[in-house]
Amino acid sequence: MIYSVDVRIEAPVRDTEVTDRVADAVRNVFPDAEPVHEDGRLVAEAHTLDAFSDVLHEQEILDTARRVFLQNSTEEGFDFSLKKQAAFEGVVNFAVGEPDELGEIDVEVRVREPDVEAFIDYVAPETDEGRPVDPAREYGDRIDPEDAEY
């Protein structure tokens, strides 16, 4: 699938935290992003969620991810938050309910092409008994946004 997305990732860095550890948490689940420190937070941008989608497949949490994405979607994209500590371990754990004391990793996905629902299908396809029903991508396939054919 050819797609065009902008992913903005923000994570607060509290005085009690080591900035490099928060950056590692971001890179563990978004390896295509390079966090930059700005005013007490790390900010990163990416143009793919393929590696993140792979983590969702590995952890077998496609249904959960899909539900979170759809609940937080608009015509322009979708937003979600992740627990920093879990991300530091390379695990996706969606933040729901009360905000974490140290803050979460907030992710904003703006989809230009295709439509939002089709992109959600690509990242977190519908499943039947935990297996993708009609995946738009195979697990492990990654698109390189720097590729000339992209």
Give the tens place of pLDDT for each residue, 97-131: 777 777 899 999 999 999 999 999 999 998 887 67
pTM: 0.86
Amino acid identity for residue 111 in this structure = V
H helices present in 60-115, as ranges: 62-71, 84-88
Share of the chain above pLDDT 70, in %: 88
Answer with the residue of higher pLDDT: 142 or 39. 39
Average pLDDT taken over every residue of the chain: 88
Q: So what's the pLDDT on residue 147?
A: 52
Q: So what's the pLDDT on residue 135?
A: 59
Per-residue pLDDT at 36 exceeds 50: yes
| CATH number of the structural domain 4-127 | 3.30.1440.10
Q: So what's the pLDDT on residue 80?
A: 97
Residues 6+ apart with CB under 8 A from 116: 73, 74, 75, 76, 77, 78
**Cα–Cα–Cα angle for 81, 107, 50, nearest 5°?**
110
Q: Over the stretch 12-34, which tens digit does the pLDDT of each residue have? A: 999 889 999 999 999 999 999 99
Q: Is the peptide bond before 135 cis (omega within 30 degrees of 0)?
A: no
Q: Determine phi and psi for 88, rounding to 5 degrees.
A: -60, -30
Answer with the residue of higher pLDDT: 140 or 9. 9
Answer with the residue of higher pLDDT: 134 or 15. 15
Q: Where are the domains of the chain?
A: 4-127
> Long-range contacts for 70-75 (Cβ within 8 Å, ≥24 apart)?
70/117, 70/120, 73/116, 73/117, 73/120, 74/116, 75/116
